[in-house]
Structure 1
Amino acid sequence: MTAAVLAPQGQLPMCPESIDFTEAIKDSPRFRASLAQHTQYFSRLENRLNEIQKHVASMMEFSRNYVSTFYKLTVSINQLCEENFTGNALAQSTIHSLSDACGRTVCLMRDFHEQSCMSLYSQLTSFLKTDLVKVQEARVHFDSMSASMDEALSRNASSTKARPSDAVDGRNALTAVGACFAHTTLDYVAQINIAHAQKDHLIIDALWSFIRETSSYFSRGHAIFDDWTAADNGAVSDTIAALAAKSRLVQRKMQDIHSLVPK
């Protein structure tokens, strides 16, 4: 079954529509509702990217363990050759050839897993720690200015009932805070738009880089073993055939050993 078939069915959340700057400046209910949608969207996005990073981190850990174990296997093969095939030049040279193929595999896998997984992890981290953090920081400033705006509105409402001079001060303060709030709101909306734009190409580029590295890994592996097969595969097959023939000869000889017992 394909990944598309396995994907969860049902209505999936869509990317929210762009925020209207006019509505943003007015701080309208429509603007606030749109903000809530974008906040939820970025929260889902962050959770999903964190999940992907968790999988990538697990892949890196599993890969390190696999490569390390594969390396230990290669060491054990070399030790097997030195300890148990001394004096058998044909077998030793063949085992060394196979061990060399294992060593090339270790190097190839180590480079692939370190480069591909780390690159994907780092690129996603960069987006999370840069673009999404900027959105969160802009949200903090927006919330702070929103609270200041509410306070200014409250003070202005109270000052209109007091002395005329207080009313003027209240209106001036409200105007200043209102202008600052408007600029902060626009900065927040701009940061949201930038994050959406960055998300599209940065995430796709990170995934594409991972697939390119994967493709390169298999291409290099194919090239390495094409060369190895051309150089050593025939020799290994000939060695196995020669050693198998020698084994059969020994077995036949062993069938006659009882003739050595005196009658």
Structure 2
Amino acid sequence: MGEHICNECGLILIEEIFEQTILSMGKDGQSIRSADKGYLGSVISGEGSYKFNRFGKSSIIPKNISQALSHCRIVLANFSPSSSLKERVDKIYMEAYRKGIFGKFSYEDRATAVVFYALKERGTPIPMKEVMREFQVNPKRVRKIVRKLNSLYRNQINYTEVNPAYQLEYHVLQITKDRNYLKQCLDVLARFENIVSNSNFTKGKCYYASICWITTNVFERREPSRKDISKLCSFDEKNIYQQTKSLLALIGKTSVKQLRGKDVNKIGETNV
């Protein structure tokens, strides 16, 4: 066959290039011909044959499942590219699919609901209107699937604590891409989280927006202003003011101006 093998080291030397064609044989000993365009050494017809695409052997995943998971990844890419969450989204979809939860809902409905649920389960919830933005789906249909998922997992997400740092980052990125500002906001958040945890304070919807407004003042930044934060985070400016006032009351302050230029690690301490 144009090959020589070294008895000592096992090296194979090919002196002549050759091509081999493998055909399936029928019970009568005759070759079974097929119009399939296979590759060298592949089974191109009969039982056990498979088709190829331009990336090689096609996936064994059914087409409908593959399409659904692709829709999930499209939605998820807008919020979290982490491989661990991708795996969790795939698992949620497959478990729900096997339970017959999806019925006749579209791929877009399913993907939106699964990603929304997975994000909330991880403690990094995103408003449903944001998750629905990719496919512009019907909110009622998505909520119906989410309720079924919640039932499947025994209301687990109702007891999941929100990750404060993630929530803050979500708000900051709506305001600016400035990574230094994000770091400053996280420092302020860490300080206030410690203060809030030792009080009866209840976080409002504007809590993270208020942290951003406090950060602007602590680090004596010219922007973003409270008006900017209100507009970009879609919160009423008055509500941000009221939430900020409540936070300041925890440290004995009445105005954010009293925190300008202060050491963030000493906020809340006596005489600071």
Q: TM-score range by the shorter chain?
A: under 0.3
Higher relative contact order (CA 8 A, sep 6+): 1
Structure whose alpha-carbon radius of gyration is higher: 1
Structure with the bigger percentage of helix: 1
TM score, norm. by length of structure 1: 0.21
Structure with the bigger percentage of strand: 2
